[in-house]
Amino acid sequence: MPTIVMKFGGTSVGSVERLQRVADRVVAAREAGNDVIVVVSAMGQTTDELLSMAAAITATPDPRELDMLLTAGERITMSLLGIALNGRGCKAASYTGSQAGIMTDTQHGAAKITEIRPKRIIEALAAGNVVILAGFQGLSSDYEITTLGRGGSDLTAVAMAGAVGAGICEIYTDVDGVFTADPRIVPDARKVDVIDYDEMLELSTAGAKVLQSRSVEVARRHDVQVHVRSTFTDADGTWVRDRSDDEMEGVLISGVALDTDEAKVTIVEVPDQPGVAARLFKAIAAEGISIDMIVQNVSHRSRTDMSFTTPRADLARLQDALGPLTNEIGADRFSIDDYIAKISLVGAGMKSHPGVAADMFDVMAAEGINIEMISTSPIRVSCVIRRADGERAVRAVHERFGLAQNA
């Protein structure tokens, strides 16, 4: 029997009633003759609610305890779905990440999957079960429960699909597929039928939440075709897979993404000496905090200002670390700007069209939007702007590049 992996996101399992519909869908897939692995997210906004309960206690909750808390969300969904499926006479068993052999490193909150030992899952399938997996979690090399970063259920699904050789991973979500921009910001955004791994990876990394970025990397590495589709209809969604040269022909831009989850940090008057940047960013990395764009301005009297962007979720921890660190490297002070957004334009066709970045800057100019930082890759241009300008900028860029449905 072919094995398929079906992943249902928070909205898809947002109520008991919706879970019942998921159960119907799973039964149909099973009756069509598949071995089925279902990966579930926490119901609705559960993860955010759990996070805000912890935040009401302290700004810097203990990372181990936070992971114990957050993984409970997915555990509720998996067992309710198990109850629903067994109630329909469809034999099913649910497993936590740890039970399913999802092994990770020790980085609480953003653990990387190091290995999957799917023995128990394969046995459960062979015994005729639908396997239900709690998304977003694993077991570390220290035998602690870890989480895989926000949106991590996508990663659970794709990685398990790779581990059991499923070939296809269906991601059921609350939109019809991957669009040229977030359809909540740009109502006439166009659904993309096929997007290749590199473009999807850039879009996800740039903030398009529809797929978690690490899940796209894993899909590419294990050759898993990902089908992003609506939980509310049977319509075809977007296939994330390699595209043939024919299919690539003529595609200049695949989409615009907006990331509003980062803040800008500036270290003021850093000594302009060899080794300072290394010390600074090593210390930040040691805290498990990731850094995105970095800009260094050569300035006055052998001192320089250094700015970088970082996830807002890590700000409290970063602030704790930066106090002593600015002293240690001999900088004057640091400041945090939590009012930025990053807008990115992504497309494989950019490689051969050098004017794309300039056109994007031109849109910003026409909108009177100041660009504060810029970074590029061969298939992406990103600008940091004021967060308040973010959605307007996305609509303007989307329009200028003719990405709309009827353009």
- Measured from each CB, the residue nearest to ligand ADP is 9
Return all residues near 14 (Cβ < 8 A) that are at least 6 apart. Answer: 43, 44
Q: Does 179 bind ligand ADP (CB under 6 A)?
A: yes
| Least distance to Mg ion, CB of residue 41, Å | 7
Q: Does 151 bind ligand ADP (CB under 6 A)?
A: yes
Of 4, 6, 11, 149, which one interacts with ligand ADP (CB under 6 A)? 11
CB neighbourhood size of 128 (10 A): 11
Q: Does 382 bind ligand ADP (CB under 6 A)?
A: no
| CB closer to ligand ASP out of 7 and 317 | 7
What are the φ/ψ torsions at residue 368 (nearest 5 degrees)? 70, 30
> Burial code of 319-352, b = ≥16 C-beta within 10 A, e = fewer?
eeebeebbeebebeebeeeeebbbbbbbbbbbee
Of 25, 30, 209, 387, which one interacts with ligand ADP (CB under 6 A)? 209
Which residues are near ligand ASP by CB under 6 A? 9-10, 41-42, 47, 73, 135-136, 150-154
> Taking CB under 6 A as the criterion, which residues in 37-56 touch ligand ADP?
41
Residue type, 192: V
Q: Cα(first)–Cα(last) distance of the chain, in Å?
A: 44
Q: Does 394 bind ligand ADP (CB under 6 A)?
A: no
Select from Mg ion, ligand ADP, ligand ASP, none the partner in contact with residue 175, using the beta carbon and a kind-dependent cut-off of 5 to 8 Å.
ligand ADP
Of 10, 73, 82, 109, which one interacts with ligand ADP (CB under 6 A)? 10
Cα separations (Å) of 361 from 31, 67, 68?
Answer: 53, 41, 45
| Cα 232–chain centre separation | 22
Select from ligand ADP, ligand ASP, Mg ion, none the partner in contact with residue 315, using the beta carbon and a kind-dependent cut-off of 5 to 8 Å.
none
What residues form DSSP beta bridges with 195?
240
Residue 197: both structure tokens together: 């791994």
Of 155, 181, 350, 384, which one interacts with ligand ADP (CB under 6 A)? 181
Which positions lie near ligand ADP, rule CB under 6 A?
9-12, 41, 151, 173-175, 178-179, 181-184, 208-210, 255
